[in-house]
């Protein structure tokens, strides 16, 4: 299976609705590796690595977010996988 890596930055009213924790749950459910963290300016940043189909589904989830989130903008950079992560974690 092809693997890929996405670097994602989400802007909008996402931090106050536990977006970060919901993203970790979704990434774990999809079997991805990487991390997610809140940025000081209120955006959420994530790196997701795994099977291409699962990463694409995670990017689509980030576009929607949890039901109470309001995503204004989603920036995604597709990168070559590095294999440096073993699970999905929260960073601060």
Active site residue ranges: 20, 38
Q: Which two tokens stand for residue 91?
A: 């960073």
């Amino acid at each position: 299976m092809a693997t890929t890596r996405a670097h994602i930055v989400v802007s909008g009213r996402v931090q106050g609705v536990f977006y970060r924790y919901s993203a970790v749950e979704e990434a774990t459910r999809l079997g991805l590796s990487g991390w997610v963290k809140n940025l000081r300016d209120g955006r959420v940043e994530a790196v997701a690595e795994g099977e291409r189909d699962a990463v694409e589904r995670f990017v689509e989830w980030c576009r929607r977010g949890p039901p109470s989130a309001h995503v204004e903008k989603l920036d995604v950079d597709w990168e070559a996988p590095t294999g440096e992560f073993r699970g999905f974690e929260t960073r601060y």
